A and B are shown apart, each in its own frame.
Chain A
Amino acid sequence: MTAGKIKLLAKQAAVFAVSAVSVWTLKPILRGQQGPTGGLGHQDPVPVAIPEDPDDLSQLDSRLALADELLDADTARFRKIAVGMLGKQNVEARAWTAVFTCWMKIAPDDAWAFATLHADTTYNCQTHDSYLPDPQREQGTLRPLAAREWAKLDPRAARAVLAGPGDPAFETLLLASLDSDVEYGFSLLAEQLAAGMPPPKATLFDNPLAGGFTALARKNPQLALEWAQRLASGDYSAPLVIGWADHDWSAARLWLDQHPERAEIIDSVARLLASDTGLYRPQLFDLILHSLPPGGGRLELVQQTLANLADADPVRAVEEAERAIADPDLRASIMARIAGNLAHADPKQALEILTRIAPGTTGLPCPDLRAEYIIDGKNPVLADYGTYILSLIGGNSGITPAEVMSDLLGRLIWTDKAQTLRYLDRFPADQIAIAGTDAIDTWASHDPLEAAAWLAGKVGDHGDDLRIDHWFGGAKLTPDEMGTLSTSLPGGAFRDAFTAWAAGEFAEQDPAWALAFARTNEGNPAALTEVYQQWAATAPQAALEALAADTQAPPEAWAEVVGRAWENTPGATSELVESMEPGTSRDAALEALVVGSGHPTPPPQQVAWACGIMDETKRNRQLESLLDRMSLDLRQTRDATIADTLRTVIQTTGNMSAPERERWLTRIDLDFPPPP
């Protein structure tokens, strides 16, 4: 074979190959399958209409079609698309960014010429964009946006077309360059400062140079240090330490330990790590854990950091929690939070994380955070929760291991009851009512006898948090079924609670049966109270009469019935209560009268009822509350007759000791001052 023939054959083979590749490449298009849309995750893509110009970019289809268009566009096509967008209202920043991202790759000069020609075109800047200087964030213009996209590819070329630091696009270019070529970005910063212009504006939550400092410190910590000293007015130490940690952690640590503002820098490092998962490094997390002072701030930052890390990589976050956090309660709280965030998307993984927590670990404790204080040197009392503390309690709810487990098992039981019951069995008696509540709700609705028997054996004497009405209400048991079930249960907290609920359920329908049933369980006072409460909801007078005749009724029953009865027959109710023998039942009834009567009962009447309470603590609580309320009405506090009546009531009350009487008379003097 001669060289010429070989050459010819090679030529023919090349033609063959080019033809084959061409038709192979075009095959999907020729078959009517457009481009790579299958990449969104479906095998048989739904064709999307590619608009001649992007007509309505609020529609997802139009935006996906635009993405498809931009990939293969030549410069003429780019121009056509961009001109089409110029005529539209409310085109968002993301659409222009997509256009310039692609256009700059193939014809940056052309793209820039277009942006310059239409420099005043504005777009709707809906998303926060840290590259853009403040004035442009609300309503952006094309030139800085194009400069930004160019700077990501070739910052020097982009710089060459700008006049200098006075150009409105210069700062955008500078900030974008910090991402693509950090050292060049800082040289642009030097240029801006040399021109007498300030560095990019930074705020507490938005520091556009921070990422640049981190990137520079990763490459050249000394240069980053010099820049940090040069820009002394800004706080760049934390991003510097974060970048330096990647380059040489020992050197960074030494520098930090000798810094006079070490504590503040570590606090800033913690805040940055908590807000940006990409910055997470184990050595930095350890530094935060061991350096931040204890308290809610540290707790929140530590939890937030790992929770954010878990959004990106839950397995790593759990491993980090297990590696770094020695306190088992804090570790359990954090793992519960991670599992809770995964509960919807991946319940199996969430359950797996929870099972890594030792059974019985409760997470951080939740004590009574109400403020304790002392009035007039008496015994301390706990006030209502403050608003801040309430926000903390609210913010932490649902993230204990038991609460997250409840959510997960509440889902699992619908599809796999056996597995759910195995999980439930792992929990100790004092946690079962919380960890199992959602699952028990479903279980008891479907299989009440089985669930009740299991619970009665499981909870023993732990009666807290049992939610019988919630769990068993859906089972629609008949009175007979409830009676049989109740008597079949072993004694304990569950049977007491179940009987009380069952009795209350039928109080409206058949109060006599309900009272008799409540008494079958060794006179369970909660059951009797429940019956009277439910009965009073629909027939308050009848309930009150029955209660008055019931010598064994618990005092709590009076508290439930009197308020309801007073709404219907205030005179008869208060007469009955006033005629009762002194004791705990009368105290409870009087308290209910004071709390329930309200408007339009004359305040001295309410004070007289409060004074009739024998128990000193309860009496003082009601008087305190009444006088607090009365003192807000200045018409009353300026009425000397009311003040005199109140003084008489206090002076004639037989229950009070002299110091107590003195205390309330002083209080009346303070709140009802004589006219000036």
Chain B
Amino acid sequence: MKSVLTTIACVAGGLVAGWWLPLPSPVHFTGSTSSDTMHSAGRSRLVRWQELCSLLASEDELANYRLQSATTLSGLLGSLRQASGFGSIDAERLVAMDPAAAMEQILNDPSLFAHAGYVAEAWARRDPQAAIRFLRQKTSYAAESCLCKALAVAYVSEPRLVGETLRAKGRRWQARNLEELFSQSSSMRLGPPPPPAKETDDPFANAGDESDYKTVRFGEKILDCLADDALREQARACWKRSDADDTPAEPKPDPPLDLANLSRDRQWTDSSWDKLRGLWKEHPEDTLAEVVAKGNYSARECLMDEYVAAFPNDPAKWPDGFIQLEESMAKLEVVPARPPSSMGNNCVLYGPVAADWIARQPLALQRAWSPTFTETWARGKPEEAIQWALGLPPGANGSLAAQRGLVVWAHREPLKAAGYVEALPPGGFRESAISNTAAVWWSVDPSGAKTWLATLPESPGKTRALERVN
């Protein structure tokens, strides 16, 4: 019995002692841990848990989680740098802790400044007088920007304070910030304060309906605080613009599609283009026939662009694509101004099969396509591409295409490109090749390019090259 009691006493004593033993210090997810305060098993568990978290969540998710769960000012500000999801709710939390300290840190840290606006607005909502008083004392540009944000928010509840602040800042300050301030408007609740909020998950449940609010635009009560009439006029112009922005635009009547008078020059403002493209997507054959019969050059060119855009990227499907292009060119009587392209690559075509097809097309197509086509081909087979370009007929931009291929080659492999250039026969092409190779080589290896140029005999191309690289 005695030993049982002793055991119970030991257990109880142990429990009490254990309860009062200090807990390990909190450990941060990244950075070193304090080994003397951390139980090794606990630390190992923590490391394993962190590893699992890294496996189960992205860095972004963890950074935002840290931000949302931080409960101290330093914790919250510390996690701001990594997190991408900082918003007005976090700003409200920040100013609930210590707004002056938070603002002080943010105004002095360029990596936190991007969040300053939210914090200034949150503080001005919570305590406009304190926020404005604090920000008025500061002289940095960041503080000025924050003061603007705070004034815009504070105007609803403290128009007199806002007016005094504006007046004190003077004309230059007012002119600089007028547009931002006088374009603002806020919602103000009408009538008595709302009854205590009911507990609910719906964030808008206690917000009342639209009729409980009126829109207050910035500055109506403090116009006389502006330094002169010119500024007051500008302020009114800001209101006018805001009103115009808020008023839904009258829908414009949709003009009929006039295929004979489409103008390529107005393509960005004319809905006719979208309409024509839409028609073609829905009824390709009928639209094609209509455009062929009635369309001017711009209309035919627009449709041709659609056929080029539909050209397949996959080389195995190119033969069918070429047939389709030839048919549409024949019907529309338009040569496409640009070869088929895809994202990040302005010509999907390359290689001898495409080269043979291009060489069979009208001279205008060869001229329009050959430079870009040669450039793309030269990324893989520069010599083949340049050789093909040099064999193009007069008027097909062969010389330019070959130089473009050489530029690509000289960027990737300047030594090989330089060897090719040195072996070229004398003449204008060789001289331009020297100039282009040296200029491109210089951009990736300045000393190598200059050394190469020094080995060449004097020539017009070398002279021009030296002008380009010096």
Contacts and interface: CB of A to CB of B under 8 A. Distances in A.
A411 B69 CA distance: 28
A339 to B, nearest CB: 14
A671 B109 contact: no
B420 interface: no
Nearest to A62: B56
B264 A598 contact: yes
Contacts of A329: 446
A489 B469 CA distance: 35
Nearest to A14: B10
Contacts, number: 323
Interface in B141-188: 141-142, 144-145, 175-176, 178
Interface range, B side: 35 or more
A36 B66 contact: no
Given A15-B10, A45-B69, A71-B48, A633 B176 contact: no
B19 interface: yes
Interface in B1-34: 3, 6-7, 10-15, 17-19, 21, 23, 26-30
Nearest to B434: A372
Contacts of A628: 364, 367-368
Contact of A15 (B14, B113, B444, B468): B14
B29 A41 contact: yes
Nearest to B14: A19
A626 interface: no
Interface stretch (B75-83, B196-204, B207-215): B75-83
A365 B399 contact: no
Contact of B53 (A28, A67, A631): A67
Contact of B443 (A28, A369, A635): A369
A389 B29 CA distance: 45
A288 B115 CA distance: 43
Contacts of B412: 295-297
B344 interface: yes
A10 to B, nearest CB: 11
A251 interface: no
Contacts of B189: none
B69 A40 contact: yes
Interface stretch (B244-252, B281-289, B316-324, B401-409): B401-409
Interface string A303-336: 0000000000000000000000001010000000
B443 A671 contact: no
Interface range, A side: 35 or more
Contact of B333 (A38, A44, A633): A633
Q: Chain A at the B interface: mostly helix, strand, loop or mixed?
A: helix
Given A40-B29, A46-B68, A475-B176, A19 B19 contact: no
A41 B399 CA distance: 64
Interface in A16-49: 16-24, 27-28, 35-36, 38-46
Interface in A434-453: 442, 445-446
Nearest to A408: B110
A295 B141 contact: no
A60 B371 CA distance: 52
B379 A388 contact: yes
Interface in A330-361: 344-348
Nearest to A30: B19
Interface string B330-374: 000111110000001111000000000000001110011001100
Nearest to A61: B65
Contacts of A97: 55
Contacts of B403: 371-373, 383
B26 to A, nearest CB: 4
Contacts of A40: 29, 53, 62, 65-66, 69
Residue in B55, B176, B364, B413 whose Cβ sees the most chain A Cβ within 10 Å: B364
A632 B18 contact: no
Interface stretch (A179-187, A192-200, A412-420): A412-420
B464 interface: yes
Contact of B411 (A41, A295, A327, A374): A295
A410 B44 CA distance: 44
Nearest to A92: B56
A392 B411 CA distance: 9
Contacts of A478: 230
Nearest to A43: B26
Contacts of A128: none
Given A16-B17, A71-B45, A415-B109, A296 B55 contact: no
Contacts of A345: 81-82, 111
Contacts of A446: 141, 144, 176
A632 B109 contact: no
14 contacts: A43-B75, A68-B49, A94-B56, A368-B468, A371-B371, A380-B428, A380-B431, A383-B404, A415-B108, A416-B140, A417-B140, A599-B264, A600-B261, A628-B364
